[in-house]
Amino acid sequence: MQKPCVARHPFDASGPQPSLSDALVAWATLAFVRESGQSTAAFNDLAYSPGSPGRVFRLDDDGLLSRMFALSELTDGKLVYNDQAGIRQVYWGGDGGDALAGDLLRRAFEDMR
């Protein structure tokens, strides 16, 4: 018996998700950090916690890490990835969250055109 052909969604498997906008991942990272009530989020939390960008978008570690390197430039330094002494985390200064979130979403939708 032949199995039925099922269309696969692009995010069915974990990986780098190249069609995913960096700005959308930045928006999700900002939302995750803001929701935590903290000014920092560990990379592992961003990758594996429920509701995190890594889990929501099914990004593998390398795919998420490459997006983290773009954070500072995308957010004019308001959201920064840091890897120092083996501690990988994202830092948010706590200011302009709503305006920054709106800007990132706007860019994400522009990227989809």
- pLDDT given at position 98: 94
Residue 113 lies in a domain: no
Nearest to 59 by CA among 109, 97, 21, 100: 21
Indicate whether 15 belongs to any domain: no
Q: Report if residue 81 sits inside a domain.
A: yes
Check residue 13 and give its pLDDT. Answer: 65
Q: What are the φ/ψ torsions at residue 77 (nearest 5 degrees)?
A: 80, 5
- The Cα–Cα gap between 92 and 38 comes to 9
Question: Which H or E element spans position 102?
Answer: helix 97-111
Q: How confident is the model at residue 7 (pLDDT cuts 50, 70, 90)?
A: very low
Give the residue carrying structure tokens 């960096």: 22
The domain of 67 spans 22-108
- Contact at 8 Å (CB) between 51 and 32? yes
For residues 24 and 104, the answer to whether their CB atoms sit within 8 Å is yes
- Confirm if 92 and 40 have CB atoms less than 8 A apart: yes
Helix 61-68 / helix 22-36 crossing angle, nearest 10 deg? 90
Structural domains in the chain (count): 1
Domain-located, residue 7:
no
pLDDT tens digits for range 54-102: 999 999 999 999 999 999 999 999 999 999 999 999 999 888 899 999 9
pLDDT in tens, 9-66: 455 567 789 889 999 999 999 999 999 999 999 999 999 999 999 999 999 999 999 9
In a domain, 78, yes or no: yes
Whether residue 36 lies inside any domain: the answer is yes
CATH of the domain at 46: 1.10.10
